[in-house]
Amino acid sequence: MSLRARDLQFYYGARKILENISLTADEGELIGVVGPNGSGKTTLLKILDGLLKPKIGSVYLDGKSIQEMSIKEIARNIAMVPQDASADVEFTAFEMVIMGRTPHLGKLSLETVEDEAKVKRWMEVTETLHLAERKMSEISGGEKQRVIIARALAQEPRVLLLDEPTANLDLCYQLQIMDLLKRLTRELGLIVICAIHDLNLASRYCDRIILLNEGVIAAVGKPIEVITAENLRKVFKVDAKITHDPETNSLNIIPIKSLKEREAESRKMICILARGEGSK
Ligand code: ADP
């Protein structure tokens, strides 16, 4: 199974947002999409999910363009965990997750015992079964995020897309979510693509990273190839120190200074020097 995007170009109105985006994701891969705010991460995920239609290019699942698939067919193959999942609702966690079965329901739209068993299974995998009867509005952010992931998994997709799944979560929940995503790729062979801000987490967990800059792919490859001081300077406009942690076999990224700050310092220095010279 593979997901491919070829030469995607996307506009919001007259503004070009994405250009020349081609990517390939194979079974069992965990791919991180990183880049500054506004670089096009969410837009790319929405195109991969068929929610937005590119002006040029297409997305292919096992060679078939998703533009030729019905919404239901896409939903049986690709599931999305959006950034702003409005989860502050009065539904219970179980009711929330069973909604994920919708693309698989028959004409009468009634869930069967089998659907319920599947929901329980995904709640077990995401460690949310104990929350089944709790209202979504009454559980913590990390628990909510796991329930929303369970709902996406209840669609039984082959591709799982997540938009900033660890945003606003404490350290423990961040690791839990990333560990879960890794297990889904390793044990079930899912393709997982997630937009992620935390470069440390991305480099630790992702097999490959796509670095977006102003709507184009600035770099793609293994974390060690993409998260380099040069790329961070070019794309994020920061000087960063990058070391390798042998214990976790991951990168440790410490942003040192923004280039704006550095420029301001040099301007200040030039002024001081100029004043010094002027007073001689
Ligand atoms: P990211 O996820 O990397 O922060 P987005 O994909 O959300 O980036 O946004 C990319 C660009 O598209 C930004 O300049 C943003 O302002 C613009 N944009 C996002 N959504 C819309 C929209 N619905 N209408 C118009 N412009 C949008």
Query: Tens digit of pLDDT for each residue in 73-110?
Result: 999 999 999 987 666 678 999 999 999 998 888 766 77
Span from the CA of 83 to the centroid of ligand 1 (angstroms): 13
Nearest CA to ligand 1 atom 1: 38
The per-residue pLDDT for range 42-58, each reduced to its tens digit, is 999 999 999 999 999 99
Tokens of 92: 């219970």
Element of type H or E holding 180:
helix 171-188
Q: How confident is the model at residue 112 (pLDDT cuts 50, 70, 90)?
A: confident
- 168-202 in b/e burial notation, b at 16+ Cβ within 10 A? ebeeebbebbbebbbebbeeeebbbbbbbebbbbb
- Please name the residue whose Cα sits nearest to atom 23 of ligand 1: 12
Say how far apart CA 95 and CA 38 lie, in whole Å. Answer: 34
Residue 44 C-alpha to ligand 1 middle, in angstroms?
A: 10
Cβ < 6 Å from ligand 1: which residues? 12, 17, 35, 37-43
Average pLDDT of every residue of the chain: 91
Q: How far is the CA of 151 from the centre of ligand 1 (A)?
A: 25
C-alpha of residue 1 to centroid of ligand 1, in Å: 30
CB 164 within 8 A of CB 130: no
